[in-house]
Structure 1
Amino acid sequence: MEQLIALEKRVCANNYDPLPVVLRSGAGAWLTDIHGKRYLDLMSAYSATSFGHGHPRLLAALTEQAQRLAMTSRAYYTDRLGPFLSRLCEMTRMDRALPMNTGAEAVETALKAARKWAYEVKGVAPDRAQIVVCAGNFAGRTTTIVGFSSEAQYRAGFGPFAPGFVTVPFGDAAALEAAITPDTAAFLVEPIQGEGGIVVPPDGYLAQCRAICTRHDVLLICDEVQTGLGRTGRLLACDHDGIRPDGLVLGKALGGGLLPVSAFLARDDVMAVFRPGDHGSTFGGNPLACAVGLAALDLLEEERLAQRAQALGALLMAELRALRHPAIREIRGRGLLIGMELDPAQVSARVFCERLMHRGILSKDTHGTVVRLAPPLIISEQEIGIAVVAIAAILQDIGIAA
């Protein structure tokens, strides 16, 4: 193990700080290291493996399509893109979709669409369009996106940054309305901030934002790369507020944990601003991605995974809250997207995750204070119990038992 870790450190850029485990295989909610030790996955690759590892139906879709046709680029039509996007639009109640690969690419697509819509449809003067974002946001790692991050490390050394972004506090609808001007094109928001620490806004926040954006002719764009496709107990996290955004960003789980698949979806007049040559992606919408994405959507509905996330998420949060340990500041989340905020004076979230690893549970901290608990949506009630027992044992191990 040490040799493989040393090799990766020697040849790979030092842009991650992984836990000291070397994984080799995965099945369902479990991962196995090179020594054969099994670990329960409570991370799901930030929701990318929502269907678990190596789901047979997704693997079958991948291999069958790979044997027929994997890649052509969008220079031609294929028999896979239309059915995939049609299903995606039908499920999300959006008019059109533009396929990409990563979540960051899909967010960049949304930004381009919003700006061009502002100029061509809303009538904003050239190069004056503004997009409102929230403090604590995380939408990716491109230079445009880190430019509107409020996290100092994400920005340090990567400027100069693109203008045109205005930041407001997350969860404060009044601040959004106060920030809107005639030049405002869109409001880009995560229904729940994942990287920010699993931060859940006040009830009704998105509904208020929807009303404000409608009143001011501003596009409401929901970034659901992490929260979408069943993770929070509904198909989309914005469904909890009963609203329909003007634009929607999906990714991660859309690729079934097998390959990167993302999409920007929007109403007709927003998507109509794109013309041939305006935007593209060599791999976006390739037949292999479409086949896997379509199978993932079918699986999500047929196995009722959103409903499963709602029920098991409520169980997990209830059991964590029942621990009533002084090191736990707060348990928050929706569905199977849960954050356990720890008191850093008693234990860091990084150390907690390392101790979880030694007990056969894999997760990762955010900002050193919050442990993410976001297992595959196919996790069982028994496996939830295994995780809670391990967490309770670690609280005892750190010598601060309740």
Structure 2
Amino acid sequence: MKILLVNKFHYLNGGSETYYFALAELLKERGHEVIFFSMKDERNISCKQEAYFVENVNYNTKMSIPQILKSSLKLLYSFEAKRKFEKLLTEEKPDIIHLNIFQSQLTGSIVDVACKKNIPMVYTAHDLKTVCPTYLMLNHGKTCEKCLNGKYFHCFSESCMKNSKMKSLLASLEAYVYKYRKTYKKLNYIITPSKFHKSKIEEAGITEAPIEHICNFLPVNTKYLPVEMPGQYFLYFGRLSVEKGILTLVKAYAKANINRPLYIVGKGPLEAELKELVRRLNLEAKIKLLGFKKGEELQNIIKKSYCVCLTSECYENAPYSVMEAMAAGKAVIVNNIGGVPELVVDGKTGYIAEPFSVDDLAEKIKKMDSNSIENVYEMGKCAQQIAKEKFSSVEYINKLEKIYIDLCNDK
């Protein structure tokens, strides 16, 4: 089969891109032909279809009023993406289109083209953009479901998108465009990496397509090395932003008052505030801010840790950070929110804390710290075993190929 993978970023930018590129390799390994559609960017991984990619639009940069107006039209419905996508479909004639993150830069215009060409579409919902204009279901740091019933004006009235009236207005308008053009009703199949996200999309009633929960898989080249004895530090790795709960984690660590240090790996908008909080709590000697790390260097930091703390405070799906920590044989501390607790067995592979609670998270940190090294080692071994079984690429591709074949037969 020839499969067209669609994602707005064509470089490793986050979990959805980890999935996007890992899926491409998995499909090629099974003998399928894979082609791509995305947005131009100097960081892109080169591919034969890049001539069809749309011009880069970054809505996070400062823009003049004329630039905002021009960009806002592209955000709502991109005629450039529509034209280029149609040309790609006409020339390449894919059997299946597998959509990932296409909203904003690529827009629902490409869904209209696929419908016109009668090519089946599978959509992996990596976030909750289908039901929330901001995709996080966060209202100034707190979970919010006001837009779940299709009343997207709440995003604008409460300035949910980056605390900006203009960006919140555009996000609300975008959601209404998708609603009234019935974009999500045109999809043929939706995959959610978590049961939680499946339930939210079903509750919103934005589609008539079958929605199936299939847990994300780890890339085929994932190495399951023998589990080592736990190291000496607690570890957080990921984006330093409000939805990741990093400030709550630092406050909870301070309250736990343990001897093991906390290492923080990553960068993001809260970096300056985080440094100031560490200074104010007088914890510079115990909390190490290591900056952004990747590849083998990051893997070595994970391998030498005592435990990994990934305490998001938003409706995350099935984050690769938790999956990778488990595959490395590490016990994890997570929050009971979104799809994350579906990955962890409380007390056996780690601990599950209450989100937004400094006290409860501090208790879980103390509990993990007071465990014997042998117990934490066993937790890590159990986590790795679950990772091997639950995050299997073989299981994933078997289910996905069946979906593809059924859709092609129905067509």
TM-score, normalised on structure 1?
0.30
TM-score, normalised on structure 2?
0.29
Greater RCO (CA < 8 Å, at least 6 residues apart): 1
